[in-house]
Amino acid sequence: MAEKTTKEILKEKIKPGEHVPLYNPRAVEKLKGEFEKWQNTVVSKKDKDNWWVTPHTILGSDIPRELLYTPLSNTDLDYTRDLGFSGQEPYTRGIHTNMYRGRTFTMRQIFGAGSPEYINKRIKMLLEHGATGTNWALDLATVQMFDSDEPEALGQVATVGVPIDCVEDMEVICKDIPIDKVSNSIITHFPRNTAIIFPMFLVMAERRGVPWTELPGSVQNDFIMESLVRSAVEYIPPRDDFRIQCDNIEFIRKNVPKWNFVTLNGYNLREWGTSGVTEMAVALANAIDTLKDMIRRGHDCDWIAERLAFFWAPANDFMEEVARLRAVRRLWYKIMKYRFDATNPRSMWMRCHVQTSGVSLTREEPMNNIVRAAFHALAAVLGGAQSLHVDSYDEAYSVPSEEASILSLRTQQIIEAETQITQVVDPVGGSFYVEALTNEMERRILDELDELERRGGVVEAVTSGWLHNRVARFIEKEQRMIADGEIKVVGKNTYRAPDLKMPEIWVHEYDEKIAKQMRDKLASLRQRRNNEKASSAIEALIQACKKSDNVMQYTLECARADVTVGEMRRAFVKAFGSWKSPLYMA
Amino acid sequence: MAEKKIRILLAQFPLENHNRGLIAVAGLLRDAGMEVILLGNAVSNRIIDTAIQEDVDVVGISTYCGGELALGKELMKVAEKKGIKDRTAFVLGGIFPPSDAPKLEAIGFSGTFPPSASREEIIAGVKAAAAAKK
C-alpha cells in the first residue's frame, strides 16, 4: 500500500475538537444580510461583476482577491485554534513570544566578489557598520566546485564571490574574525559543495584552536539547488546528491552543535521561476523527506528538526508575501506535530532567512529598485522573518557596489529603528484579508505538497524532470505576460519614460590579477603538500561514497590533507557517475 | 515562398549557474517561429561542435555572472579555428556592464541584449544577426 501523504496524515490526525468560532453566528447572519444589501444597492454592477480579480505579478501565484474582505471571508475563524498567541501553537503569529522586541531580525547582507584578502577586509567593514552576521558568496568556480586553475574557471575567478580552493584560503578569509562569536553564513548552495567547503572551515578552526562546538553559523546544503535550480556542465544523480545532503546534516549535527546544517532553500527556486506556493511546497517536501531519511538512520526527529531553517524570497505581491510566511509557519507546526509527532517546540518553529527578490528588480531606472526592495523587506518583517538580506538596486548591472550594499543594510536598519513595526508582534494579524489569504496560501501549499508526495517525493519529482518542466513553463509564460504588458513593471512596460536613459552605474570589473594569484597559490600548494597523503584521502572518499559511510568524515580528511575543491568534486563524480539535467537536449 | 526557419543554438558558459534567461529567450524565439536547440552549459569546444552538428544560423549565449569578455574571446577563437565564424552569427544576452556591449561587438557578437531588452528587440536582433551572415 502506498505511503500516506502528509495531507492525508494531517486530515486523519488533526481532530476537529471543540470549535469555538470567533464571530458569533447571530452576528454573522446579520452581517450576511447587510452585506448582500450593500452589494446590491451600493456597489456598482461593474464592481460586483468583477468582485474577484486575479493579480498578475512577477513570480506571482495568480490567487483571486475580493474587492472587500469581511468576517464573511472567514466565518469559521477560531482564534485559539487558528492563530493563538505569539510563541504558542500554532505559531501563526510568530515563533517567539516577544518577537522583535526580544531580538531583532539578523541583518545578514551577502557580499563577496573579490580575493580572500579583500573579503576579509569587507567582513570587518560590515561588522563595523553594525551587521550582526556575515553571509559570504562564493565565486562561480567555487560554487560549481572547480579549482581556480581549471580551464572551466576562465573568466570566473572572484567575479561573483570569493574563490576558495583549499584550507589556506579559508584561513585568509577568517583572519582576525572572531569565528566563535560572529555567526558566519557560508553560501555553500549544494550538498557536494557543503561537503567540500565546510570541512575547510572546520580545519581552519582546528588549526586556530577554536573548538567546533563553539562555532555559530550556517550552510545551505540543499540538493534542490544542485540538481534542479542551478545550471551546470556536470551533475551527479539527484538520489546521491540527496544522500550527501543527509550525510552533511548528520555529521554537522553531531560535531558542530551550534551550526545550522541545512537551509531549505525556496529562494533560488522561486527566483528561477515559480510562484510563492510552489516555492514553499518544494522546500517542505525536501524537509519532510530529509526527516524521514534521518529517522531511517536511527535519529530522533527532534534532534534534527530543532535546527532546521528555511529560506524564502518575498516578491511584489505585498499582502500575499506577508500572508504566506504566516501560512507556512502554521503548516510547518502541523507537519511537525502531527506528521512527525515532534515533542520539542523548537522543532515546530518555521525559522527563516529571507532575501528580497532579485528577479523583480529592473535594469531600467535602477533607483526604483531601492523602493521595491524596501517593500519586499517590509513584507518579510511583517511576516515575522528571523533574518534578512535586502537586494541592492544595481543587481541588474553587476554584483553590488559597496555603496549599494551599505544602502541595503540601511534599509533594514530604517525598518528596525524608525518604522516602529517591530514594536508589535504580527501587526497585520486579525485583518479579514490577511487571515483569509493566510488560509488560502496554507491550503494551496499543502495541495502542492500533496501532489509532490503522490509523485513519489521530492527526489523523484526532480529526477523525472517534472519540476524542471514546471519551472520552464512558468518562465516562458511569465516572459510572455511581461512582454504583452499583462504583468506590469514600472519604468519597463508601464509608465516608461519616453527618453529612458541608462544611468552611470559602478560595475564590478573582472580582475585577472586575482585569478593569477589563485593559480599561483594552487601550484605552490601542490608542491608543498604531502601528495601521497592527499591522494589516499581522495581514494578513501571515493570508497566511502560507494559504501554508505558518511562522506563528510572523508572530505574532512581531504581538507586536512590540503586536497583542493576540484579534486574532491572529481572524486564524487568518479564514485557516483554523472547525470543529465532533463532540461536540455540529449 | 516561405522564409527558411532560423535555427539557433542557446548555450551558456561552463560555470554559469543561472538559466532563467536562457529558458525565457528559448520560449520567445520559438514563439517567433525559430527552431531552438537548448544546449545549456558547455565549454567553447562543445558549443562550437554542437553548432556545426546542428547546422545552426545563430549561436546565442546567456550570461549573468561576468567574465563574458574573456569567455567570449575564447569562444570566437574556437569558432574561427573550426571554420564557422564567418557563416554563423553570435549574439549574447544577460547581465553585463553596459560598457562591455561595444567590446563584445568588437570581438564578434553582432547582437547584445541586456535585461532591459524587449521581446521585439531580441527577435529583431537575432533576425538581423542571422540575415547579415547570409
Q: What is the distance in angstroms between the Cα of A145 and the nearest Cα belonging to chain B?
A: 9
CB hemisphere CA count around A535 (13 angstroms): 4
The count of domains in chain B is 1
Dihedral angle computed from the Cα positions of residues A391, A394, A399 and A405, in that order, rounded to the nearest 10 degrees: -50
For the segment A293-317, what is each residue's pLDDT rounded down to a tens digit? 999 999 999 999 999 999 999 999 9
Residue A28 lies in a domain: no
Same domain, A317 and A370: yes
* Mean pLDDT of the region A338-344: 97
What's the pLDDT at A585? 63
Task: Give the contacts of A501 (CB within 8 A, at least 6 positions apart).
Answer: none
Residue A372 lies in a domain: yes
* Mean pLDDT of the region A205-225: 96
Residue B11 lies in a domain: yes
B7, B8, B12, B17: which to substitute to probe chain A, counting the most A Cβ within 10 Å? B17
Beta strand B58-63 with B89-94 is parallel
Smallest Cβ distance to B14: which of A152, A492, A507?
A: A152
What's the pLDDT at B126? 97
Same domain, A408 and A431: yes
Whether residue A27 has pLDDT greater than 60: yes
SS3 A169: helix
Same domain, A200 and A89: no
Say what percent of chain B tops pLDDT 90: 87
Residue A24 lies in a domain: no
Cβ count within 10 A of residue A328: 29
Q: What is the mean pLDDT of chain A?
A: 94
- Residues of B with Cβ-Cβ distance to A479 under 8 angstroms: 24, 27-28, 119
Name the strands in the sheet holding A352-355, side by side, starting at the edge strand that comes first in the sequence: A106-107, A387-389, A352-355, A309-312, A263-265
Alpha helices in A388-530 (DSSP H): 402-417, 432-454, 458-463, 466-483, 512-528
Same domain, A212 and A331: no
- Residues of B with Cβ-Cβ distance to A273 under 8 angstroms: 20, 23
What's the pLDDT at A44? 97
Same domain, A418 and A355: yes
Domain limits at B68? 7-132
Taking CA–CA distances from B116, the nearest residue in chain A reads A363
Q: Is the ipTM of this complex over 0.85?
A: yes
CB–CB contact B114 A363 (8 Å): yes
Q: What is the distance in angstroms between the Cα of A565 and the nearest Cα belonging to chain B?
A: 14
B15, B35, B107: which to substitute to probe chain A, counting the most A Cβ within 10 Å? B15
The maximal CA–CA distance of chain B, rounded, in angstroms, is 43
- Residues of B with Cβ-Cβ distance to A272 under 8 angstroms: 18-20
Last residue within a domain, chosen from A483, A503, A537: A483
CB–CB contact B37 A153 (8 Å): no
SS3 A403: helix
Residue B37 lies in a domain: yes
Same domain, A306 and A418: yes
C-alpha cell at A556: 574532512
Residue B1 lies in a domain: no
Taking CA–CA distances from B62, the nearest residue in chain A reads A231
- Residues of B with Cβ-Cβ distance to A140 under 8 angstroms: 15-17, 65, 67
Same domain, A239 and A268: no
CB–CB contact B66 A159 (8 Å): yes
For the segment A522-575, what is each residue's pLDDT rounded down to a tens digit? 999 999 999 999 999 999 999 999 999 999 999 999 999 999 999 999 999 999
Distance CA A260, CA A256 (A): 9
Q: What is the distance in angstroms between the Cα of B93 and the nearest Cα belonging to chain A?
A: 12
Same domain, A342 and A231: no
* Mean pLDDT of the region A177-199: 94
Looking at residue A218, which CATH number applies to its domain?
Answer: 3.20.20.240
Distance CA B116, CA A500 (A): 11
Same domain, A291 and A324: yes
For the segment A66-94, what is each residue's pLDDT rounded down to a tens digit? 999 999 999 999 999 999 999 999 999 99
CB–CB contact B115 A396 (8 Å): yes
CB–CB contact A231 B26 (8 Å): no
A1 touching B, CB under 8 A? no
Domain limits at A574? 114-248+511-586
SS3 A133: strand
A141 touching B, CB under 8 A? yes
Residue A373 lies in a domain: yes
What's the pLDDT at A510? 76
Taking CA–CA distances from A142, the nearest residue in chain B reads B15
Same domain, A231 and A344: no
pLDDT band at B2 (very low <50, low <70, confident <90, very high): low
Say what percent of chain A tops pLDDT 90: 86
* Mean pLDDT of the region A381-392: 95
What's the pLDDT at A356? 97
Whether residue A586 has pLDDT greater than 60: no
Taking CA–CA distances from A364, the nearest residue in chain B reads B116
* Mean pLDDT of the region A9-22: 90
Same domain, A65 and A180: no
Residue A293 lies in a domain: yes
A386 touching B, CB under 8 A? no
Residue B2 lies in a domain: no
- Residues of B with Cβ-Cβ distance to A158 under 8 angstroms: none
The count of domains in chain A is 2
Whether residue A54 has pLDDT greater than 70: yes
One-letter amino acid for residue A164 of the chain:
I
B68 touching A, CB under 8 A? yes
Residue A41 lies in a domain: no
Give, rounded to a whole angstrom, the gap between the first and last alpha carbons of chain B.
Answer: 17
Residue A39 lies in a domain: no
Whether residue B65 has pLDDT greater than 90: no
Spacing of C-alpha B55 from chain mean position: 14
> What residues does B41 pair with on adjacent strands?
B12
Looking at residue B74, which CATH number applies to its domain?
Answer: 3.40.50.280
Residue B26 lies in a domain: yes
For the segment B90-126, what is each residue's pLDDT rounded down to a tens digit? 999 998 888 899 999 999 999 999 988 999 999 999 9
Residue A27 lies in a domain: no
Residue B94 lies in a domain: yes
A396 touching B, CB under 8 A? yes
Whether residue A17 has pLDDT greater than 90: no
Beta strand A106-107 with A387-389 is parallel
Same domain, A546 and A576: yes
One-letter amino acid for residue A177 of the chain:
I
What's the pLDDT at A231? 93
CB–CB contact B39 A585 (8 Å): yes
